[in-house]
Structure 1
Amino acid sequence: MKTTLLHIALLLLIGLSSKAQMQPFALQDVKVTGGPFKNAQDVDLKYILALNPNKLLAPYLIDAGLPEKAPRYGNWESSGLDGHIGGHYLSALAMMYASTGNAETKKRLDYMVDQLAQCQAKNGNGYVGGIPQGKVFWERIHKGDIDGSSFGLNNTWVPLYNIHKLFAGLRDAYEYAGNQQAKQVLIGLGDWFVELIKPLSDEQIQQVLRTEHGGINETFADLYILTKDQKYLETAQRISHRAILDPLIDKQDKLTGLHANTQIPKVIGFEKIATLTGKSDWSDAAQYFWQNVSQTRSVAFGGNSVREHFNPTTDFSQLLRSNQGPETCNSFNMLRLSKALFLDKNDVSYLDFYERTMYNHILSSQHPEKGGFVYFTPIRPNHYRVYSQPETSMWCCVGSGIENHTKYGELIYSHSANDLFVNLFIPSTVNWADKKLKLTQQTQFPYQNQSELIIETSRPQELSLNIRYPKWAENLEVLVNGKAQPVTGKPASYVAVNRKWKSGDKVTVRFKTTTRLEQLPDGSNWAAFVNGPIVLAAKTSTADLTGLFADDSRMGHETKGKLYPITNAYALVGDPATYLNRLKPAGNLQFGLDSLMLQPFYEVHDARYQMYFPTFTQAAYDEQKAKLKQQEADVLALEAITVDKVNCGEQQPEVDHQYKGEKSESGYDDEQFWRRTRSYITYQLQNKNRTGKYIIIRALEDIKPETMSFLINEKPAEILSSEGKTIRLRANDNEVITVKIMAQSGTNTARINQIRLLTR
């Protein structure tokens, strides 16, 4: 396929605007030819081929009642999110095939689609999915039996999020690889879903949408583009989450405390629906969300969130302390939103964030030699990251990870009807078939601030070559065949070179970058060194990298190594005007900083690192260090005696601890998460080596034992003390301890914030 089918259909449906409409090139038309992105693509291909399609298909075959060809994978693929990686795998195979032409990826893709078609035929109603007991679950929803929370719908782990991955995978199999069978399976699945929700009221649908559901509204917009059947566009609007959309339309920031990656795909859907319906307020809402997240909630490398949730814009301290920094899935989806807005608005400023995030978060999220994907990227000083392995790790960030490195060619170039745009400085080629023109880009950026663009054309032809003038560039020079051209543009715009081009014409682009300090968005005294778009960091230690390559445990994606005191972090102390002068250039974007060596963050692997540096005057440093030292000592002392803990109301910790409950709700108040119930809630704590002796339950208001009861492994718990917002229970010596909290007389319990299992 020589073009992107869905995008062409979209342009036909909405028509071209009066100004030149920005269009992407198909992945088939752009080849990445060298540098770190080509390496990342090659390493990702090996990881993709190390996965077993039959294992990924197993959940679908099981649910359809067909024999398995291999046992399913473990980890998240056999603990409730069964089948979600299979959907991502379809997308990754399709885009890798489009980007590289690798025959094995196409063979696997066609095989998997055929197997899914067989599952769909066996089910007989258009449905295909890997969700455990899926038929029973969906029948309950069809009948309006709905009990949902942020991640659990009828005590099933994010089922709509799960099936959205299959919708997207089938769409990509058709869009990028031309698989016609995928289109038919996709339409059948879409028709089943339309019938599934037909009996539900709008209120019931919005109740369902309280649970994470990915970008399922976007995929129904895609179905409309493919078929022009109005029912899909109506469904896309009906399954758009109004609790998120309405405040965004009103330009109200109500994001703090929300699970970050739950929201971003919804907004991608809002933007696509807007382009199809002319709902400008929906598109404005998407722009407001993008501006809010990218400019006030993102750290230097483009990522956002702490423990998967949006932190307050005025306080990034939790992010600095936590070992669960920005989640890679968030940036995966923020890039998709940035791309959509760039193409819709023809606004080059979206590319500044896109480029920053792609270089510093996405590129750094895969091990450059061994492969493996990162879930959390902490900014806590002297901490590290964990990498997945093909046989053990089935996290969401593995699913998005195998996609991330297949599509680096998607926005290096773009075009309008008559003009070519160079958006990113990456070694690559682009073939513009309609113009019979090929452009080759030769560059070693970011290690050298220059790029050469060489034209090949079947005939001399006049067009405008538009070169992005990045926001970070101190200046920009453009030469054509060695002759300097006038540069009238400014940063965050394009410089247009309009002439009759002939084969062999060479354009040289040169720019200057400097290193600068960027503070956290909250204005606190923490800052990162950034050169051009490249975030710099220093390796600080290779000690105690426990779990560097993940095992198959439920929390294998989280670091287990020691938390080093923040007070031990390297600090910039003294006159702020001298901070940058301390850097000693050492070549290849390396800079000495006393005993540290700064380098591009995407080069930092297999080590603890420091990306953010506290800045102080000498007097402030002495005062702050003493204060932080005591705070840090208290935190580390508590962690030292903690065997296991669950932060109630947060998605991943609750999933990891097998949350179950009825008549329960969660929320975020006073910068703390909570969960309460009018019936019961339960969690499983892991009592490693049976060292846990006591359970501490903490709430946001006073715990009144007469209104609540507590069970340990279904037996009444011994209450050792109850004081205000905290209650202390005696644990038993089981390896798995189930804590059950029950409400008395149907009244709400206190808002439970945290449960800890302690050694003393």
Structure 2
Amino acid sequence: MAASARTRQSWKVTMVNGISPAELGSVTLDPGLFEQRRALNRAYLDSLTDENLLQNHRLEAGIDSSFTWHLQPTSGDPSERGLDRHWGWETPGGSQMRGHFLGHWLSAAAREAAATGDAVLRARAHRVVAELERCQEANGGEWVFGVPPVFLDRVAAGREVWAPQYNLHKTLMGLVDAARDLGDQRALEVARRAGRWFARWSASFTREQFDDVLDVETGGMLEVWADLLELTGDEVFRDLLERYYRARLFDPLVAGVDVLTNTHANTTIPEVLGAARAFEVTGERRWADVVHAYWRCAVTERGTFATGGQTSGEVWTPPFEFAARRGGKNQEHCVVHNTIRLADVLFRWTGDSSYLDHVERNLYNGILAQQNPRTGMVAYFLPLAGGSRKRWGHPTEDFWCCHGTLVQAHTRHSSYVFYEDARADALVVAQFVNATWTARRPGGPVTVQVARSDSAVRVGPDANAGPAGDHHRPQEWRVSVTVVSGDDVPARVRVRVPGWVHGEPAVSTAGGEEVRAEAVDGFLVLDHRGGRSEFHVSLPHRLRVEPVPDEPTTVAFVVGPLVLAGLTDAETALVVDDLRHPEAHLAPDDERQWAEWLRGYRTTGQERSTRLVPLHEVVDQDYSVYFPLRTR
């Protein structure tokens, strides 16, 4: 069921401070690294059958399924039991998290269909929603989840149970996203009826009792209630917003207390994303205060690894104390995905380009680095101990929480490239991802195309056809920004100047003529007078080091936003002449093939040389991100 155009218009993301993302479906990813990863993820989404995705919801509803299954695997070997069932966290009857992945899948399928026009995934998403409605009816008209309500009784009684509200949120999230992104009114009604169950249940507790309930991971329930309040106008969801206000977390944060060190990171980020949506929907400043206080405590006053990510064993590290926290379970993927979402929110609210820098670094060294470029599977963690290796998931055997955020993350690449800034009456190029945007403007459509000519991704049918170009790998990112509109339709384009730029950015026309482009608040301002304009932007960079804050003689090497990983099976010390300039002992390595510039380096002046490549290119090799230094 499609929503009317008027209804769909009211579902647009609320603009705060005049900045809004490009309209969903108006951006196309062009050939390049991010389009490759999106396509890989899309193929995985389509490979999972509706029957297997719905297995736990149908079983909970008592609906017979049309396929053969066993309660327990017949063997530990996936090749012996086949792919007739989803296992791991989705194991029927054997996992308290069963059913969570369906919501991730539905959210991802809805976003992919809305962003790309994918008719197959759109139809499948509608079918899954229809089956969830059937499950809800079989459950009495409200309950629509893959686990029983008794799990919530265990939470209330203080008995051990694995985060049921986190689980239930995923189904609600998928329904809300199907309603918002695809206009599926049935999904909205199923979510509304399920929400009424929570309204009755939560009303049965005192404030103190429910605060105890909220201490057990709730996922993004607060965000769902804000979304449903906006989509339906039903006051029951305003009441739920108030009940789900987590005072024990939010109030100390706003007061400036560090309540995050050593706490589970991905418990809190979704709650704060909920506070962000509550502010956007209600306009009540107290919610925004929580968001700003959280970012200050979690990022600004805590710091990140060189990758831009955080956490060790899923918990926040102490502020700027990382030396003892590098290990095999750093940088949980869920934290990366949700922190990127929070940075996106804060950029829209403030216009501060540093949030876009945070998104960029985490896209390359988190989202891309934790997706296998061959299989599309996720690495739950990104180990940062010396001589580590990424552990990849399996298509049907694991279904970790990070498996869920994986499929969502790779449907959002087109959503982070462009924004519209009503304050400056400008179109914003936020990320240097090959993409094309057709923006609706008062005078007529304006098309903005971004392409990186220095990309190491092979584009086109014949890689031998590229120009000879520079003698050596350019020490800059080269970005072309092409703007096309009617002859009488001018446009102003703001292009982000990343924090990693070393030197002055330069802008020229396609013919090589210099363009005077003023830098304002972290953006180059390009004026398009109508017709066709092609700007070539040069963003110079240098190889630099980023030390561990509390162990400054251990460093990572970074180029632009890309963290380099040494291909070594143990932590490898570098012997250097000057501790202030260890980058002097790295030289370009294997820099060119056909028409491509590659991004490798090698160490020099060592007993044994180590090759380094961008972290997101490491697949099954042992690697080290950090290198201890010692002088000769």
> Under a length normalisation based on structure 2, what TM-score does the superposition of the two structures give?
0.86
Contact 2:323-2:548 at 8 Å conserved across structures: no
1:125 matched to 2:130: no
Instruction: Tell me which of 412, 433, 444 is aligned to 1:426.
Output: 433
Deviation track 1:688-726 (CA, whole Å, cap 9, x = no partner) reads xxxxxxxxxxxxxxxxxxxxxxxxxxxxxxxxxxxxxxx
Provide the aligned length of Structure 1 versus Structure 2.
575
Q: How does 1:343-382 map to 2 (within 5 A)?
A: 343-382=348-387
Alignment partner, residue 623 of structure 2: 609
How far has the Cα of 1:617 moved from its partner?
A: 4.0
> Which AA in structure 2 matches 1:307?
G
Q: How does 1:399-548 map to 2 (within 5 A)?
A: 399-417=404-422, 418-434=425-441, 435-445=444-454, 447=456, 449-474=477-502, 475-480=504-509, 482=511, 483-489=513-519, 493-502=522-531, 504-541=532-569
Contact 2:567-2:621 at 8 Å conserved across structures: yes
Instruction: Tell me which of 50, 62, 76 is aligned to 2:89.
Output: 76
How far has the Cα of 1:294 moved from its partner?
A: 2.9
Q: For the aligned residues, what is the CA RMSD?
A: 2.4
Q: Which runs of 5+ in 2 are unaligned?
A: 70-84, 457-475, 592-597
Alignment partner, residue 312 of structure 2: 306
Quote the Cα distance in structure 2 between the aligned partners of 1:3 and 1:89.
Answer: 25
Contact 2:3-2:183 at 8 Å conserved across structures: no
How far has the Cα of 1:494 moved from its partner?
A: 1.4
How far has the Cα of 1:314 moved from its partner?
A: 4.4
How far has the Cα of 1:526 moved from its partner?
A: 2.0
Deviation track 1:121-163 (CA, whole Å, cap 9, x = no partner) reads 12223221001xx13334x37xxx8234xxxxx3321100001
How far has the Cα of 1:407 moved from its partner?
A: 1.2
Contact 1:158-1:211 at 8 Å conserved across structures: yes
How far has the Cα of 1:465 moved from its partner?
A: 1.0
Quote the Cα distance in structure 1 between the aligned partners of 2:615 and 2:203.
Answer: 49
Alignment partner, residue 235 of structure 1: 240
SS at the partner of 2:405? helix
Contact 2:576-2:585 at 8 Å conserved across structures: no
Alignment partner, residue 269 of structure 1: 274
Contact 1:217-1:237 at 8 Å conserved across structures: no
Relative distance call for 1:358 and 1:94 in structure 2 (3 A) is same
Quote the Cα distance in structure 1 between the aligned partners of 2:487 and 2:196.
Answer: 49
Relative distance call for 1:480 and 1:3 in structure 2 (3 A) is farther
Quote the Cα distance in structure 2 between the aligned partners of 1:363 and 1:4.
Answer: 35
Quote the sequence identity (%): 29
1:106 matched to 2:115: no
Quote the Cα distance in structure 2 between the aligned partners of 1:10 and 1:110.
Answer: 18
1:592 matched to 2:621: no
Contact 1:473-1:532 at 8 Å conserved across structures: yes
Deviation track 1:720-742 (CA, whole Å, cap 9, x = no partner) reads xxxxxxxxxxxxxxxxxxxxxxx
Runs of 4+ in 1 over 6 A off after TM superposition: 1-7
SS at the partner of 2:149? helix
Name the structure, 1 or 2, with higher relative contact order (CA <8 Å, separation 6+).
2
How far has the Cα of 1:498 moved from its partner?
A: 2.9
SS at the partner of 1:449? strand
Larger radius of gyration between Structure 1 and Structure 2: 1
Q: How does 1:167-178 map to 2 (within 5 A)?
A: 167-178=172-183
Instruction: Tell me which of 192, 195, 200 is aligned to 2:200.
Output: 195
Quote the Cα distance in structure 2 between the aligned partners of 1:48 and 1:42.
Answer: 10
Quote the Cα distance in structure 2 between the aligned partners of 1:605 and 1:16.
Answer: 40
> Which AA in structure 2 matches 1:427?
N
Quote the Cα distance in structure 2 between the aligned partners of 1:319 and 1:5.
Answer: 51
> Which AA in structure 1 matches 2:89?
W
Alignment partner, residue 464 of structure 2: none
Q: How does 1:376-391 map to 2 (within 5 A)?
A: 376-391=381-396
How far has the Cα of 1:15 moved from its partner?
A: 7.5
Contact 1:536-1:598 at 8 Å conserved across structures: yes
Contact 1:261-1:329 at 8 Å conserved across structures: yes
How far has the Cα of 1:445 moved from its partner?
A: 4.8
How far has the Cα of 1:280 moved from its partner?
A: 2.9
Alignment partner, residue 631 of structure 1: none
How far has the Cα of 1:91 moved from its partner?
A: 0.8
Quote the Cα distance in structure 1 between the aligned partners of 2:144 and 2:575.
Answer: 56
Task: Give the structure with the larger strand fraction.
Answer: 1
Quote the Cα distance in structure 1 between the aligned partners of 2:111 and 2:482.
Answer: 26
More displaced 10-residue stretch of structure 1: 237-246 or 521-530: 521-530
Quote the Cα distance in structure 2 between the aligned partners of 1:484 and 1:2.
Answer: 48
> Under a length normalisation based on structure 1, what TM-score does the superposition of the two structures give?
0.72
Q: Which runs of 5+ in 1 are unaligned?
A: 149-153, 542-563, 619-760
Quote the Cα distance in structure 1 between the aligned partners of 2:617 and 2:4.
Answer: 34
